[in-house]
Amino acid sequence: MVVGNWKMFFGPDPSRLLGLDAVVCPPFTRLADCVAAGLTTFAQNVHWDGEGAYTGEISPPMLLALGVTGSLVGHSERRQYFGESDETVGLRARGALNAGLRVVACVGETIEERRSGKTEHVLRRQLSVLEAHPNLVLAYEPVWAIGTGHTATPEVAQAAHAYIKSILDLPVLYGGSVKPDNAASLFAQPDVDGALVGGASLDIDSFTAICRAATRIPS
């Protein structure tokens, strides 16, 4: 599974991504364009209630009405910049799943947490608010590798993914500066089930190369 997170960028022409076996997560204003183009489209965030006085939020029924089929929850940038907590990540995931959306729930440690030997503690805490569900996928995104150009080595990613799966037996994507030149080595790891791609998903050639790398890995 390859997921492209466009973040707060307008993003490429959706029609040029047709034929790729991938999910796109555009900004809210481009959700309808991506759905209309026939792409598997997820939102970047979703509220847990069906409606209510939650200015700036969007509900699962609203997304489903657009033809959106899933959402990210708990991305590190939501945690860092907007006060997202483990508790609200759990609420968002459950609300979306109960409404019929698919969910990619993100977990990962900061560089300070890794250096102090707290990686497993942080992952265990973040995973404690989630429950196994057929429509739930996890994404390991070490915060120190997001938008920094630094990528976890395949061995570091594999170790983290194996630990995550020992707690929740679910598919786990890797996110953190995934690029065409490192995608194949990441996908070759036995517990890496795909990628959550940030900046490289904004460039059609790069995103296409990553998607192709995923299809070349033997099952």
**CB 123, CB 159: distance < 8 Å:** no
Cα distances from 124 to residues 50, 68, 109, 130, 161, in angstroms, run 29, 30, 11, 10, 12
Catalytic residue among 47, 75, 84, 109: 75
Is 75 known to be catalytic? yes
Active-site option among 77, 109, 113, 141: 141
- Please give the torsion angle defined by the CA atoms of residues 76, 78, 82 and 88, in that order, rounded to the nearest 10 degrees: -100
131 by DSSP, 3-state: which? coil
Cα–Cα distance between 22 and 204 in angstroms, integer? 12
Q: How far apart are CA 124 and CA 107, in angstroms?
A: 9
Residues annotated as catalytic are 75, 141
